[in-house]
Amino acid sequence: MREKIIHRATELFLTLGFKSVTMDDIANELGISKKTIYVHFENKTKLVESTTLEMFALISHGIDGICQLQKDPIEEIYDIKQLVLEHLKDEKSSPYHQLQKYYPKIFNSLRSKQFGLMDACVVNNLKRGIALGLYRDTIEIAFISKIYFASIMSLKDKQLFPLKVFSMASLMNYYIEYHVRGICTPKGLKVLSKIINNQIQPNDK
């Protein structure tokens, strides 16, 4: 039952937002009493914490699986992007912002974990790209890995990127192309162009 609660709560939080969803909402969705939820979770904060950790573990496992394939570094970036989008939906309710505002301790802990995961992944990607002649060997790896993380996080800012103008899928596509073009060699640009041409472009508006 604990896993069922986490699974359904995660879906509701991502769809409606962490603040918007109540324990009553979750209980009604599952067809159980609110008391049953409290048997497994002391309060809503504990449930929110469990759902964020579960989602992070799931995405982390997926990213590790992609990295282990040792694909072309540029293709790897796009595969990871697709994985993240599939798990996080389009974030129409701005759950990331709600988590930051109403559950700051959980938000800061999650952000720290996200940085650790993403930094290691990006650094490895950059090193492989340089070795393969796809990325310029003059790039500053430590700087780019941090800028990459900061930029990806900023895409979730709905004041900067309102949903009426940008979907999360389009933002991710725009930024990744921007990132890769900035570090590629002519050889890498050919790979990037091939990937972009083979993509099924999302409805951006």
Residue 32, pLDDT score: 96
Show the tokens assigned to 201: 């472009």
| Percentage, residues of the chain above pLDDT 70 | 95
| 53-198: CATH number | 1.10.357.10
Residue 149, pLDDT score: 95
Q: How far is CA 108 from CA 6, 58, 96, 97, 105, in A?
A: 20, 19, 11, 12, 5
Domain residue ranges of the chain, discontinuous segments joined by +: 53-198
Q: How far is CA 77 from CA 14, 149, 175, in A?
A: 23, 13, 11
Show the tokens assigned to 145: 């890995």
Structure pTM?
0.87
d(CA 35, CA 10): 19
Residue 89, pLDDT score: 62
- pLDDT confidence band for 158 (50 / 70 / 90): confident
AA identity, residue 40: H
d(CA 19, CA 155): 21
Least confident of 19-28, 144-153, 192-201: 192-201
Q: By 3-state DSSP, what share of the chain in percent is helix, strand and coil, each rounded to 5?
A: 75, 0, 25
- pLDDT confidence band for 164 (50 / 70 / 90): confident
